[in-house]
Chain A
Amino acid sequence: MPESLDLLRGTLDLLILRAVSRNALHGYGIARWIEDTTDGTFLVEEGSLYPALQRIRKKGWLTARWGVSDTGRRARFYAITDAGRERLQSELRTWRRYNRAVERAMTAEPAG
């Protein structure tokens, strides 16, 4: 198992919104997407997804609906709302700015 990083506060929300930004996914699907795209860097325990999903849903960025999984089983699918999409965009912008700033700082010559 690769070494995991502690999730930065709010990053998990961002990942989840991103995961469902094209198609509605169930919790297991979201976990797989995060694992695949981050090479298992995050998500120590996949169970932590579920309180996060509900928290985001409470904010109105996700809606939940029952559907049928690829394996033909009943599963709860999460879809992004318009408000969620806006949130994702703004979080992404913030994230990118933060990322660029840290990246620049990390590649710059240290003072001295």
Chain B
Amino acid sequence: MSPPRGWRWLFRNPFRDRAEERAVRDEIRFHLEELEARYTRSGLPPGEAHRQARARFGDPERWEREAAGEGRAAARAEGRRRTLLDLGTDLRMAFRQMTRNPRFTALLLLVMTVGVAAGTTVWGVVDAVLFKPLPFPDADRVVAVPGGNERWPVWFASRFAYEAWDDGQRSFEEMAVVYSATMTLLEPRPEEIGVLRVESRFFDVIRTQPMLGRAFTREEDLPGAPNLLILTWALWRDRFGSDPDILGTEVGLRGGPATVVGVMPPSFSWEDFQGDGPAPEGAERLALRNGIFRNDVGELASGGRLLPLGRLRPGVSLDEARADLDRVGRAVVDAYPEVFVSDSGPYMPTVRPLRYLYTRFRADDVKLLAGAALLVLLLVAVNTAGLFATRVLDRRTELGVRASLGAGRIRLARQLLVETGVPWALALATGLLLAGAGLPWVRSVVPAGTAFVDDVTLRPRVLVGCLSVATALWLLSALLPSLAASRMELLSAGKAAGRGLTKGGMRAQKVLIVGQIALACGLLGGATLLLRHYARLRGVEIGLDPERTAMVYLDLPPEYREPAGTVAEAGGVAEYARGWFDPHDPVFQPGPRFHAFVAGTLERMEAVPGVTAATFVNQPPLWESTHWRGIRLAPPGVEPDESYPWVRTKWVTPDYFETLGIPVRRGRGLLPTDTRDSQRVVVINEAVARTVFGSEDPVGRTLSFNPTAYFPDLDWTVVGVVPPVLQYGPHEPDESVVYIPVAQLPRAWADDQIGWAMRVSFLARYRGSPEEVFRGLREAVWAGEPEVPITKATTLEHQRAALIAQPRFFLLLLGGFATVALLLSAVGVLATLGQQVHQRTGELGIRKALGADVHELLRRTLADGAVLGGLGVLVGTGLEWLLGRGLHARIAGAPEWSPAVLAGAATLLFLTAVLAALPAGLRASRVDPMEALRTE
């Protein structure tokens, strides 16, 4: 077998060629001299003998030239043959090594396979989330420009702010604003689909035009334009059978029909996290792969939930765009401080990569995971190297003999490469199979709402990445034993048979083990912290009973409210609403139609078969949303300052607590007798009780809300106290919540009644099949208001699962890593101490012969394990603390550290180390003196 033509130079070896030429010259000279000597012996005079020898041999230079040419080729061929032969020998040796010690081999393969599988899987996720191109041209030049500031990041902007920013900016060639929601498609059958309400400029920003028909025009952006639709390709295919004559047809939508003017190409999808909060099963991702585009964003004149987008001008960097938008944002803030400055600072435009919208994973999170995975891989490499090194040390006699028989350093190193390479290749194959089989599981644990999850596959790039990592690990794991072996060469074969190993080598091995234990300890501690966090989120402290509770969330149309002046007339907006409104925006209050709708819908819902109770709240619990600050709260007569809490206000019907299983800890809940005409009452949560009233009993005391003009300066009497209820993902036990009876909502109550739609939700306990219950609940809403779009219909169980999906994901990964690490460190201690005992067999035998106590030997080995474990745990605890801080920063509500966890992880690791030392200790105590001396 010769190398392919283009690669021959790789095998050309100038040193070998030169040596061959020298060899030919030398042997020819030898020949001539021997011939000459022969002639001399036969009696010829020296000159004649020389001449005769020349004649017999022929022209030495000619033959030398010809022989050298052939010789170089021969030497090359010989080298290649020898390499192949050696490779064959090495492979045979490698397999023999593997079968000779099956337990060791199984351990090794397990470690490696797990490493490869974990690495490949994580790399697959990272690849999909971080590197997959977004589905439209030059997507990396498109950014989102929501408002907010560091203390208060939001993903939206008001139209007022957006238009001001667009007027002033110089970084974007085009900006457009989008609004995403869901809508009921009535044909061919009623169904909730996603809708992205866009401006015509949107299609320029994304540089994608409909595949059929056309995009919207500028005139169609204006309020009053006809209702138009552009279908996504998937919707066109699935619901309209890819009808080529679809253009111009009218499609029935709840709220009025619209005319189809285009169909987007199949490659295009738009991902968005659609308002605030997790979606019901599938709906969110359905949103815009399988939905429609509407031209009515212009009607959303103001308020809330618009997301501005911009396409960067050529040559403008992200940082330049940020600086530019900063300048514009500052000017807007200076012009309207009463609207754009709040406690959390000025409301400024922020420039964010669009990828986040699609993946929902912060790049930092993915990097954290990738980092953890890399750490584990490193651990695998170190461990494998350690295991191989131990084995090489076990075989030092054999290697020493081989070295003294003339096997070169390179030759031995190559043998080790092959010996390590064979298990690595096996591990790679099984690891990849495992990763492939495990991918469906990975897709199921990645938090809902992460795009591209379906794209987590073993694509070629992932395979190449994994292959290169495995190669690097292989080389790394071969390096250490090679070093050990090359050091061994320096020892004579005789000495190698003795106690051999240098102190340095031993120390290096121990350092490796301590490092492994430390890493494992850190990972284990981190995983335990997450586990506790997860367990807490899972049920103990969410504050209500989420089982079999349906939730319907919707936006009521404008007719449900009554005008109550403008923001400016009202004297400004509440802190939390700053930046979202134009001073000329109207302020509203809920009208009689609103109260009638709430009461009627609840009645209809309770009549739905299967529903046992129904209740109303403006904003449902377990709802991840923009941090929603309410109003500052203080006792009457006190001007609220920083020391008084922001409160979230919830308006509820009286049976809210009972229906959701929220216990009333003090006083009473709300009653049907708390009406518009009776005393104004509130129920507060424990956080309010603590911060406003301290240790005093709040029941019977009065409260007032920060009296901005549109918040009426009224007193409210506290009648009860309830425990905290989980509101959004990060658990915030300290969040202050005040529950107000919906019947007592004051004039111009403005929680979310200012500019945007009135968001309300109904919660219903049910028995039986959720499908039928949901159908009934929807009908109950539509019987009162046929036009209203239902934003979301889901269960509290699902909401809870979605809220804890991310910690769960982190937990699963980190927990998996920690398990691997624990296993690895046990293997490491086991192998290293076993090896040491093996090395000291002779010494132990002598000690025993001299009457050493068996238990003493066992104790000593266990003490060795304890020292390694102790040192590892010491370093590991520091690591654990660091990791805990990292997690705490990433997952709000995750505990930073806890002494119990630290102690637990440390104890476990310590015990593991000592236990792993046990087999070696037993071996030491069982050493047979005679046997030991014989091996000496």
- Enumerate A56-109 residues with CB–CB distance to B below 8 Å: 57-60, 63-64, 66, 69, 71, 73-76
Say yes or no: is B341 at the interface (Cβ < 8 Å to chain A).
Answer: no
Q: What is the CA–CA distance of A51 and B69 in the complex, to the nearest angstrom?
A: 8
Interface size range of chain B in the complex: 20 to 34
B81 touches A26 (CB 8 A): no
A48 touches B78 (CB 8 A): no
Q: A48-B58, A50-B64 are in contact. Are A57 and B74 (CB under 8 A)?
A: yes
Residues of A within 8 A of B67 (CB): 50-51, 53-54
B81 touches A60 (CB 8 A): yes
Nearest CB on B from A24, distance (A): 13
Q: What is the CA–CA distance of A76 and B71 in the complex, to the nearest angstrom?
A: 13
Q: What is the CA–CA distance of A60 and B26 in the complex, to the nearest angstrom?
A: 22
Q: What is the CA–CA distance of A60 and B63 in the complex, to the nearest angstrom?
A: 21
Q: A31-B31, A63-B78 are in contact. Are A51 and B70 (CB under 8 A)?
A: yes
Residues of A within 8 A of B8 (CB): none
Q: What is the CA–CA distance of A64 and B22 in the complex, to the nearest angstrom?
A: 14
A75 touches B73 (CB 8 A): no
B30 touches A50 (CB 8 A): no
The residue in B23, B69, B74 that gathers the most chain A C-beta atoms within 10 A of its C-beta is B74
Say yes or no: is B27 at the interface (Cβ < 8 Å to chain A).
Answer: yes
A54 touches B71 (CB 8 A): yes
Residues of A within 8 A of B66 (CB): 50-51
Chain A's closest residue to B59 (CB) is A47
Binary A-proximity of B836-853 (CB < 8 A = 1, otherwise 0): 000000000000000000
A47 touches B63 (CB 8 A): yes
Residues of B within 8 A of A75 (CB): 27, 30
Chain A's closest residue to B52 (CB) is A1
Say yes or no: is A33 at the interface (Cβ < 8 Å to chain B).
Answer: no
* Interface residue SS majority, chain B: helix
Say yes or no: is B168 at the interface (Cβ < 8 Å to chain A).
Answer: no
- Enumerate B576-632 residues with CB–CB distance to A below 8 Å: none
B74 touches A27 (CB 8 A): no
B34 touches A71 (CB 8 A): yes
A28 touches B31 (CB 8 A): yes
Say yes or no: is B309 at the interface (Cβ < 8 Å to chain A).
Answer: no
Nearest CB on A from B467, distance (A): 34
Q: What is the CA–CA distance of A30 and B872 in the complex, to the nearest angstrom?
A: 68
Residues of B within 8 A of A73 (CB): 30
Q: What is the CA–CA distance of A27 and B64 in the complex, to the nearest angstrom?
A: 13
Q: What is the CA–CA distance of A31 and B30 in the complex, to the nearest angstrom?
A: 13
A58 touches B30 (CB 8 A): no
Residues of A within 8 A of B28 (CB): 27, 47, 50
Q: What is the CA–CA distance of A57 and B23 in the complex, to the nearest angstrom?
A: 14
B35 touches A28 (CB 8 A): yes
Say yes or no: is A3 at the interface (Cβ < 8 Å to chain B).
Answer: no
Say yes or no: is B459 at the interface (Cβ < 8 Å to chain A).
Answer: no
B63 touches A58 (CB 8 A): no
Say yes or no: is B62 at the interface (Cβ < 8 Å to chain A).
Answer: yes
Residues of A within 8 A of B81 (CB): 60
Residues of B within 8 A of A48 (CB): 58, 63
Chain B's closest residue to A75 (CB) is B30
B63 touches A45 (CB 8 A): yes
Q: What is the size, in residues, of chain A's interface with B at 8 Å between Cβ atoms?
A: 27
Q: What is the CA–CA distance of A63 and B82 in the complex, to the nearest angstrom?
A: 11
Q: What is the CA–CA distance of A47 and B67 in the complex, to the nearest angstrom?
A: 9
Q: What is the CA–CA distance of A108 and B415 in the complex, to the nearest angstrom?
A: 63
Chain B's closest residue to A43 (CB) is B56
Q: What is the CA–CA distance of A60 and B71 in the complex, to the nearest angstrom?
A: 12
Say yes or no: is B60 at the interface (Cβ < 8 Å to chain A).
Answer: yes
Chain B's closest residue to A35 (CB) is B56
The residue in B23, B31, B59, B69 that gathers the most chain A C-beta atoms within 10 A of its C-beta is B31
Q: What is the CA–CA distance of A27 and B62 in the complex, to the nearest angstrom?
A: 16
Q: A75-B30, A76-B23 are in contact. Are A46 and B35 (CB under 8 A)?
A: yes
Say yes or no: is B24 at the interface (Cβ < 8 Å to chain A).
Answer: yes
Residues of B within 8 A of A26 (CB): 27, 30-31
Say yes or no: is B77 at the interface (Cβ < 8 Å to chain A).
Answer: yes
Say yes or no: is B11 at the interface (Cβ < 8 Å to chain A).
Answer: no
Q: What is the CA–CA distance of A59 and B77 in the complex, to the nearest angstrom?
A: 8
Residues of B within 8 A of A27 (CB): 27-28, 30-31
Q: What is the CA–CA distance of A20 and B73 in the complex, to the nearest angstrom?
A: 21
Chain A's closest residue to B71 (CB) is A54
B30 touches A69 (CB 8 A): yes
Say yes or no: is B57 at the interface (Cβ < 8 Å to chain A).
Answer: yes
Nearest CB on B from A111, distance (A): 43
Q: A47-B57, A47-B58, A71-B34 are in contact. Are A58 and B27 (CB under 8 A)?
A: no
Q: What is the CA–CA distance of A27 and B32 in the complex, to the nearest angstrom?
A: 11
Q: What is the CA–CA distance of A76 and B25 in the complex, to the nearest angstrom?
A: 11
A54 touches B78 (CB 8 A): no
The residue in A48, A58, A76 that gathers the most chain B C-beta atoms within 10 A of its C-beta is A58
A50 touches B63 (CB 8 A): yes
B58 touches A45 (CB 8 A): yes
A55 touches B58 (CB 8 A): no
Q: What is the CA–CA distance of A45 and B67 in the complex, to the nearest angstrom?
A: 14
Nearest CB on B from A47, distance (A): 3
Chain A's closest residue to B56 (CB) is A46
Nearest CB on B from A59, distance (A): 8
B56 touches A58 (CB 8 A): no
Q: What is the CA–CA distance of A73 and B69 in the complex, to the nearest angstrom?
A: 25
Nearest CB on B from A28, distance (A): 5
Binary A-proximity of B75-101 (CB < 8 A = 1, otherwise 0): 001100100000000000000000000
Nearest CB on A from B60, distance (A): 6
Q: What is the CA–CA distance of A54 and B26 in the complex, to the nearest angstrom?
A: 14
Binary A-proximity of B3-35 (CB < 8 A = 1, otherwise 0): 000000000000000000001101110110011
Nearest CB on A from B756, distance (A): 86
Q: A50-B66, A54-B70, A55-B74 are in contact. Are A45 and B56 (CB under 8 A)?
A: yes
Nearest CB on B from A21, distance (A): 19
Nearest CB on A from B229, distance (A): 77
Q: What is the CA–CA distance of A74 and B62 in the complex, to the nearest angstrom?
A: 23
Residues of B within 8 A of A44 (CB): 58
Nearest CB on B from A52, distance (A): 8
A76 touches B27 (CB 8 A): yes
Chain B's closest residue to A54 (CB) is B70
Q: A51-B70, A73-B30 are in contact. Are A60 and B56 (CB under 8 A)?
A: no
Residues of B within 8 A of A58 (CB): 70, 73-74, 77-78
Nearest CB on B from A5, distance (A): 16
Residues of B within 8 A of A47 (CB): 28, 31, 57-60, 62-64
Residues of B within 8 A of A74 (CB): 26, 30
Q: A45-B58, A46-B58, A76-B23 are in contact. Are A54 and B73 (CB under 8 A)?
A: yes
Residues of A within 8 A of B24 (CB): 50, 54
Q: What is the CA–CA distance of A73 and B33 in the complex, to the nearest angstrom?
A: 11
The residue in A45, A48, A51, A60 that gathers the most chain B C-beta atoms within 10 A of its C-beta is A51
Partner of A57 from the list B35, B59, B78 (CB cut-off 8 Å) is B78
Residues of B within 8 A of A51 (CB): 63, 66-67, 69-70
Nearest CB on A from B31, distance (A): 5
Q: What is the CA–CA distance of A58 and B95 in the complex, to the nearest angstrom?
A: 31
Residues of B within 8 A of A59 (CB): 77
Binary A-proximity of B31-75 (CB < 8 A = 1, otherwise 0): 100110100000000000000000011111011101101110110
> With A27-B30, A74-B30 given, can you name 18 additional A-B contacts, CB distance below 8 Å?
A26-B31, A28-B30, A28-B31, A44-B58, A45-B59, A45-B63, A47-B28, A50-B64, A51-B69, A54-B67, A54-B70, A57-B74, A58-B73, A58-B78, A64-B23, A69-B30, A76-B27, A76-B30
Which residue numbers of A lie inside 8 Å of B, CB to CB?
Answer: 26-28, 31, 44-48, 50-51, 53-55, 57-60, 63-64, 66, 69, 71, 73-76
- Top 3 nearest A-B pairs (CB, nearest first) are A45-B58, A47-B63, A54-B70
A-B contact pairs, 30 of them (CB 8 A): A26-B31, A27-B28, A45-B59, A46-B35, A46-B57, A47-B62, A47-B63, A48-B58, A48-B63, A50-B24, A50-B28, A51-B66, A54-B24, A54-B67, A54-B70, A54-B71, A54-B73, A54-B74, A57-B78, A59-B77, A60-B77, A60-B78, A60-B81, A64-B74, A75-B27, A75-B30, A76-B23, A76-B26, A76-B27, A76-B30
